[in-house]
Amino acid sequence: MGDKKLHVIVVGAGLAGLAIAHGLKKNNVSYVIVDREAAPRDRNWGVTLSWAHPLMEKLLPEDLYKSLQVCQPDPSLDTKAAGKECILIRDGATGETKVEAHFPGIRRMQIQKTKKAWAPGVNVKYGKRLVDISITAEGPTAHFEDGTSESGSVIIGADGGASQVRRWLLKDLAAQEVLPYAFMNFPFTLPAEKALWLDGVMNPNVDVATHPKNMYLGIFLLDKPDLTKPETWVFYILVTWPITTKEDEENSDNRLERLRAHMDGWADPYKSVVEWLPDDVVIKPDQLRIWHPKPWDNHGGLVTLAGDAAHSMTFHRGQGGNLSIKDAHEFVMKMVKVQRGEQSLQEAIKEYDEGAVARGQEVEISKAQTDAFHDYANFEESPVFKMGIKPAGT
């Protein structure tokens, strides 16, 4: 890098990329952040941040950190005061608690609200879809679909599970694995009385169940656009079961019908909620995809990965978002060292990469958790049962 000023190109303005950008800005490291989106996509979900919560405080500006409540599905919820600093796993056949894993400071964050709250402070360039990377003696350049480019000292791909930066680094080895489970993930609303009931009985962070039929179902709150009008509250369901039929394999369009056919023997709240779903509820096709990290050639410390781009995992142990924040924190700390002249960029990225790949062991642990949710008889052997939601290695 010689005497050239350190300048970071962050590709992707999701949880990982925005956390990196804020951390770099807070530490006066020069950066640019880009995202392919021209407008927010309609995909939305919630993330339970537990052990990575203190790291957000280090990365975000004080005022943003103090206002994180606005990112919650229910901005009025104080989980501590409500005695709900935990996640809940039930027996789907009885509704009884199987696991209640506690975590002080745990917070549910809705992904679109989070992007909306975090983006303004970091001046994201939108409509920039990365299509290629080139490297010269001057350093790496990111090339975008619109014909523009950004040059800097290092590119960090925080561009999600199907990462283009990862594909540039690893070619075919970057391909995701599709797991053999039917997967549905869809939002819905309910009449006021039913929405109030559900909100009262469900755990606000995570309320999921494993069923003797070897099936997983979770109900989550996505948004309360008007706190006084429960009929506006948006919930969503995540449901998975092993693919055994041709219809499941082809992921045919009769998804609600297929879900309802799986609901005999379920207890409340899951049973009633699926019964109450409107017949025209939209359930889009989806797949469970993961990517196990394989060490990549960082071209002498010029290109690296973070978040789902570096390790994409199933949601069944709730670790992907936490690891995105951990990657962001590790990367920012390394860049601070490089800027201070305490470490070369090459050495810093080498060490960062080793950590990111090691953190990727969680992909296998989360996959084991996915399998365990579909193996009711042996659920007590599962990672969540044994480790709760603590990070691997602690």
Is 37 near ligand FAD (CB under 6 A)? yes
Is 238 near ligand FAD (CB under 6 A)? yes
Cβ(189)–Cβ(235) below 8 Å: yes
Q: Considering beta carbons, is residue 11 or 335 the nearer one to ligand FAD?
A: 11
Beta bridge pairs of residue 304: 156
> What is the Cα–Cα distance from 153 to 7, expressed in whole angstroms?
5
Q: Considering beta carbons, is residue 144 or 379 the nearer one to ligand FAD?
A: 144
Cβ(190)–Cβ(199) below 8 Å: no
> What is the Cα–Cα distance from 234 to 102, expressed in whole angstroms?
25
In the complex, least distance from residue 15 CB atom to ligand FAD, rounded to whole angstroms: 4
In the complex, least distance from residue 4 CB atom to ligand FAD, rounded to whole angstroms: 24
Q: Considering beta carbons, is residue 266 or 315 the nearer one to ligand FAD?
A: 315
Q: Considering beta carbons, is residue 125 or 260 the nearer one to ligand FAD?
A: 125
Q: Which helix (H) or strand (E) holds 345?
A: helix 345-359
DSSP for residue 391 = P
Size of the site for ligand FAD (CB under 6 A): 33
Q: Where are the alpha helices (DSSP H) in the chain?
A: 15-26, 53-59, 62-66, 111-118, 164-170, 192-201, 246-250, 255-261, 270-276, 320-339, 345-359, 361-373, 383-387
> What is the Cα–Cα distance from 388 to 393, expressed in whole angstroms?
12
In the complex, least distance from residue 238 CB atom to ligand FAD, rounded to whole angstroms: 6
Within residues 147-186, the interface with ligand FAD by CB under 6 A covers 158-160, 164, 185
Q: Considering beta carbons, is residue 14 or 92 the nearer one to ligand FAD?
A: 14
In the complex, least distance from residue 164 CB atom to ligand FAD, rounded to whole angstroms: 4
Is 390 near ligand FAD (CB under 6 A)? no
Cβ(304)–Cβ(156) below 8 Å: yes
Return the sign of the alpha-carbon dihedral for residues 336, 339, 342, 344.
Answer: positive
Within residues 295-354, the interface with ligand FAD by CB under 6 A covers 307-309, 315, 318-322, 324
Interface characters, 123-142, with ligand FAD (x: CB under 6 A): -----xxx------------
Residue type, 259: L
Q: Considering beta carbons, is residue 77 or 339 the nearer one to ligand FAD?
A: 77
Q: Considering beta carbons, is residue 321 or 339 the nearer one to ligand FAD?
A: 321
341 sits in the region (left: phi over 0; alpha: psi -120 to 50; else beta) called left
> What is the Cα–Cα distance from 221 to 82, expressed in whole angstroms?
16
DSSP for residue 46 = E
In the complex, least distance from residue 315 CB atom to ligand FAD, rounded to whole angstroms: 4
Instruction: List interacting residues with ligand FAD (CB under 6 A).
Output: 11-17, 34-37, 45, 47-48, 128-130, 158-160, 164, 185, 238, 307-309, 315, 318-322, 324
